[in-house]
């Protein structure tokens, strides 16, 4: 058994430890939560951490694996969150079983985010250069404002949607007495039933890992990485550039949508400004700090950098300062040759691989 | 160093004023270019390029720097679309095709400035070359369906087999960017071969290689032709290599063909000597 494990390829071993780490972390945290050992604030971090892990891993697919800069990942999260919330609230009568409703909401969120990904990706990814960064930046802003103009309600006749350009209110949907308001323009969605649970977050993280890792270690992943490394050479061996760029980008958008749906269903109310440019940059920081193309790095970075500012809350005004200092220190440390050499000595196996490579 | 004599075919003329090996007569030539040309603004980078290559011929394209040799490669692979003329690949017109379609139709190439997927392993580089050979869908990759395992296994075996042409199977796990220069050039050839071409274009395969590496490369080029029964067109400045293995040679200067023929024809052609060495001064004017 052990010998078989050693004969595995390096990437397969890394993937195995990534899955193992996530499973162990889940079991430990879940046990602690069930035993009541976690404070309510720590408990409340668990689902958002899962969401941001999925966000970071999916953005890594675009930025690290495909090599295109996306500055509007929170936009896809937003699309997923609001479509997921609409789905969950409209189906509350039809499907009383909460986990199934949550799963459907996540699916709907992923689907709508993927569609948005098609709309953004198809025109932009055909171009060469940094256009994707510019367009996704704009997309993140536009989607926020669009959702601010939405009025959505649900009654016995079905969904009512108005795109509010004047001073309409939720009354203008003319719903009957069974009606519930889902999205009230700039006020966002309110009265959301909290469907998200930590186990659901864990399952979503695992699904994301299976999708991303299996894709990367396959013909599709190799084609995507070939485009990143050398576009001209990739074309010369017959790889359809646009197709594989789109596959990676849309998968990334869909996963962000799924994360958004889970995130949206974790709070009683939701406003679109929560998914602004800062959120996109935050996720990008997770990816860059965890290492471009490094999936487990994204997971660790997302967890640590989510917990850090939350844990520093007691320092109030100084917490963003401390956060920035930590970011700078990590950047310096990971680029320090002496520190790397020290790590190499501490972890002999790693050193051996370095010498071989 | 013992000079190795390479088996060359007897060259015979064909209607397009080219010569091809006698053994390839009666079969559709792999490549027929007629009056091919491209303009960049007012500059005729390549003009009236007419060349026929036999199915199993090793052909050479030589000329001084800036003569338009790499431009010809870029025209053949549709990186540039020709302004004039036609290219028939295996008898099929390639007008309007894309680089990707050209590769699927059977032209593979290497690059003058090496273009490997340098962050990926040697084996993955070859597997990317096999992209259109060992196909399965993204869905079967994500779900790890039987198609994935079967095709991945086949790709792995094929990749190692192709790498063994250059005795590189031991390097399969290395990062392509970390290989020495000569090995990177060889890996590019292996990757091109993986796409199952009918015509292989090599852009300065011996650049940066020492004489013994070049001699080995010559043997390998001949071996590739014999094993895969494909045509090879190469651009090279190393005249030992060109004169040693190329059956037909085409000389380009300022975008125009100035000579075509066998190694002997080329070496004795006054225009070629002039292009390479300059014009002999007649009596100096006083």
* A290-294, A348-352, B103-107, B272-276 — most confident range: B103-107
How distant is the alpha carbon of residue A192 from its chain centre?
A: 21
pLDDT at residue number A98: 92
Which residues 28-67 in chain B show a CB within 8 A of chain A?
none
- Residue partners of B116: CB distance under 8 A and separation at least 6: A229, A230, A233, B125, B176, B177, B184, B187, B188, B191
What's the CA angle centered on A282, arms A246 and A332, to 5 degrees? 110
pLDDT digits (tens, 9 = 90+) for A67-99: 999 999 999 999 999 999 999 999 988 888 999
Q: What is the pLDDT of residue A346?
A: 66
At the fourth CATH level, the homologous superfamily of domain B11-106+197-277 is P-loop containing nucleotide triphosphate hydrolases (3.40.50.300)
Q: Which two tokens stand for residue A264?
A: 């949206």
- Cα distance between residue A108 and residue A258, in whole Å: 8
pLDDT of residue A60: 96
Check whether B212 has a pLDDT greater than 80: yes
Q: What's the whole-number average pLDDT of chain A?
A: 88
Residue A292 in contact with partner chain B when CB distance is under 8 A:
no
B52 pLDDT band, cuts 50/70/90, is very high
For A232-257, write each residue's pLDDT tens digit: 999 999 999 999 999 999 999 999 99
pTM: 0.89
**Cross-chain residue pair A215–B141, CB shorter than 8 Å:** yes
Q: Report B:112-131 residues touching A (Cβ under 8 A).
A: 115-120, 124, 127-129, 131
- Per-residue tokens: A244: 């594989």
Entry field: residues in chain A: 357
Per DSSP, the three-state class of B235 is strand
* Segment among A20-24, A149-153, B273-277 with least mean pLDDT: B273-277
- Asked if B131 and A218 come within 8 Å (Cβ–Cβ), the reply is no
At residue B12, the pLDDT reads 80
Q: How many beta-carbon pairs under 8 angstroms link A with B?
A: 98
pLDDT, greater one: A168 or B246: B246
Neighbours of A287 (CB within 10 A): 27
Is residue A356 pLDDT above 50, yes or no? no
Find the closest chain A residue to B76 by CA distance. A236
Mean pLDDT of A279-285: 92
Q: Which residue of B has its CA nearest to A243?
A: B138
Tokens at A287, concatenated: 């990816």
Read off the pLDDT of each residue in B186-190 and give the average, rounded to a whole number. Answer: 95
Q: Which range is least confidently modeled, A5-9, A146-150, A157-161, A180-184?
A: A5-9
What six digits make up the tokens of B208?
Answer: 């940066």
Cβ separation of B151 and A219 shorter than 8 Å? yes
Domains defined for chain A, CATH in brackets: 10-277 (1.10.3470)
Percent of chain A scoring above 70 in pLDDT: 92
Rounded mean pLDDT, A156-164? 83
Distance in angstroms between the alpha carbons of the first and the last residue of chain A: 26
Structure tokens at B63: 């000329």
Mean pLDDT of chain B: 91
Secondary structure in 3-state letters for B20-60: EEHHHCCCCCCEEEEEEEEEECCEEEEEEEEEEECCCCEEE
Report chain A residues whose CB lies below 8 A from the CB of B104: 238
Q: Please give the torsion angle defined by the CA atoms of residues B206, B208, B212 and B218, in that order, rounded to the nearest 10 degrees.
A: 0
Distance from CA of A228 to the nearest CA of B (A): 8
Summarize pLDDT for B138-162 with one digit per residue, the tens. Answer: 999 999 999 999 999 999 999 999 9
Q: Are B191 and A237 in contact (CB under 8 A)?
A: yes
Rounded Cα gap, residues A194 and A262, in angstroms: 10
Nearest beta carbon to residue A233 from set B100, B115, B127: B115
Of B142, B162, B185, which to mutate for an interface test with A (greatest number of A Cβ within 10 Å)?
B142
* A211 contact B CB<8A: yes
Q: Average pLDDT, stretch B238-261? A: 93
Share of chain A above pLDDT 90, in %: 60
Give yes or no for residue A348 having a pLDDT over 80: no
How would residue B112 be classed by pLDDT, with cut points 50, 70 and 90? very high
* Burial track A41-76 (b if 16+ CB lie within 10 A, e otherwise): eeeebbbbbbbbbbbbbbbbbbbbbbbbebbbbbbb
CB contact (8 A) between residue A218 and residue B141 = yes
Please give the DSSP secondary-structure letter assigned to residue B261.
E
Does B214 reach chain A within 8 Å, measured CB to CB?
no
CB atoms B151 and A357 under 8 Å: no
φ and ψ at residue B93, rounded to 5 degrees: -65, 135
Instruction: Please list the alpha-helical segments (H only) found in chain A.
Output: 2-7, 10-35, 40-60, 73-90, 98-124, 131-148, 198-216, 219-229, 231-236, 241-264, 277-290, 295-311, 319-334, 337-346, 348-356
Mean pLDDT for A212-219 is 95
Question: What is the average per-residue pLDDT within A1-13?
Answer: 70
pLDDT exceeds 70 at position B196: yes
Residue A352 has pLDDT above 70, yes or no: no
A220 pLDDT tier (thresholds 50, 70, 90): very high
List the structure tokens of A137: 């930046």
Facing residue for B111 by CB, picked from A211, A221, A233 = A233
Say whether B129 and A237 touch across the interface (CB within 8 A).
yes
What are the boundaries of each domain within chain B? 11-106+197-277, 118-196
Interchain proximity A357–B103, CB inside 8 Å: no
pLDDT of A171 reads 78
Q: Summarize pLDDT for B3-43 with one digit per residue, the tens.
A: 566 778 788 877 777 888 888 888 889 999 999 999 998 89
Query: Is the CB of A237 less than 8 angstroms away from the CB of B178?
Result: no
Residues forming a β-bridge with B11: B21
């Amino acid at each position: 058994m052990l010998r078989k494990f050693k004969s595995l390829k390096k990437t397969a071993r890394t993937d195995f430890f990534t899955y193992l780490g996530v499973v162990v972390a889940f079991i430990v945290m879940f046990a602690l939560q069930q035993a009541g050992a976690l404070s309510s604030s720590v408990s409340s971090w668990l689902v958002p951490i899962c969401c941001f892990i999925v966000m970071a891993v999916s953005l890594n697919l675009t930025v690290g694996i495909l090599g295109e800069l996306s500055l509007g990942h929170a936009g896809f999260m937003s699309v997923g969150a609001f479509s997921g919330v609409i789905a969950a609230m409209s189906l509350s009568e039809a499907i009383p079983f909460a986990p199934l409703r949550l799963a459907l909401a996540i699916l709907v969120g992923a689907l709508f985010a993927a569609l948005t990904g098609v709309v953004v990706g198809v025109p932009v990814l055909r171009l060469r250069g940094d256009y994707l960064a510019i367009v996704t930046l704009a997309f993140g802003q536009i989607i926020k404002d669009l959702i601010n103009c939405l009025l959505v309600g649900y009654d016995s006749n079905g969904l009512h949607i108005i795109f509010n350009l004047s001073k309409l209110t939720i009354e203008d949907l003319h719903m009957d007495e069974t009606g519930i308001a889902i999205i009230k323009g700039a006020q966002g969605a309110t009265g959301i039933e909290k469907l998200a649970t930590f186990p659901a977050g864990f399952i979503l993280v695992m699904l994301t890992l299976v999708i991303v890792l299996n894709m990367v270690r396959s013909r599709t992943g190799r084609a995507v990485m070939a485009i990143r490394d050398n576009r001209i050479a990739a074309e010369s061996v017959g790889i359809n550039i646009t197709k594989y760029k789109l596959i990676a980008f849309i998968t990334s958008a869909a996963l962000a949508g799924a994360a958004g749906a889970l995130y949206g269903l974790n709070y009683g109310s939701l406003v679109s400004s929560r998914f602004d440019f800062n959120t996109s940059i935050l996720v990008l920081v997770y990816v860059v700090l965890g290492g471009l193309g490094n999936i487990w790095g994204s997971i660790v970075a997302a967890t640590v950098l989510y917990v850090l500012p939350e844990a520093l809350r007691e320092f109030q005004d100084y917490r963003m300062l401390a956060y920035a200092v930590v970011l700078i220190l990590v950047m310096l440390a990971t680029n320090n040759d002496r520190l790397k050499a020290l790590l190499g000595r501490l972890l002999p196996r790693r050193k051996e691989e370095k010498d071989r490579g | 160093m013992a000079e190795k004599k390479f088996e060359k075919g007897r060259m015979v003329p064909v209607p397009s004023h080219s010569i091809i090996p006698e053994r390839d007569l009666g079969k559709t030539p792999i490549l027929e270019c007629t009056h091919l040309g491209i303009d960049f603004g007012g500059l005729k980078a390549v003009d009236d390029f007419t060349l026929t290559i036999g199915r199993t011929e090793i052909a050479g394209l030589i000329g001084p720097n800036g003569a338009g040799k790499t431009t010809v490669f870029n025209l053949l692979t549709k990186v540039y679309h020709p302004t004039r003329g036609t290219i028939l690949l295996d008898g099929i017109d390639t007008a309007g095709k894309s680089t990707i379609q050209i590769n699927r139709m059977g032209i593979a190439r290497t690059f003058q400035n090496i273009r490997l997927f340098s962050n990926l392993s040697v084996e993955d580089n070859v597997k990317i070359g096999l992209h259109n050979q060992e196909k399965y869908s993204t869905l079967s990759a994500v779900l790890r369906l039987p198609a994935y395992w079967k095709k991945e296994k086949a790709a792995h075996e094929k990749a190692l087999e192709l790498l063994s042409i250059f005795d590189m199977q031991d390097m399969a796990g290395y990062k392509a960017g970390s290989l020495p220069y000569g090995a990177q050039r060889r890996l590019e050839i292996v990757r091109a071969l993986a796409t199952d071409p009918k015509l292989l274009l090599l852009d300065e395969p011996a650049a940066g290689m020492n004489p013994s590496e070049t001699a080995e490369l010559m043997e390998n080029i001949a071996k590739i032709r014999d094993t895969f029964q494909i045509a090879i067109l190469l651009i090279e400045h190393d005249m030992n290599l060109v004169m040693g293995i190329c059956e037909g040679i085409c000389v380009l200067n300022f975008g125009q063909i100035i000579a075509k023929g066998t190694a002997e024809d080329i070496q004795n052609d006054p225009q070629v000597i002039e292009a390479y060495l300059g014009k002999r001064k007649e009596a100096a004017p006083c």
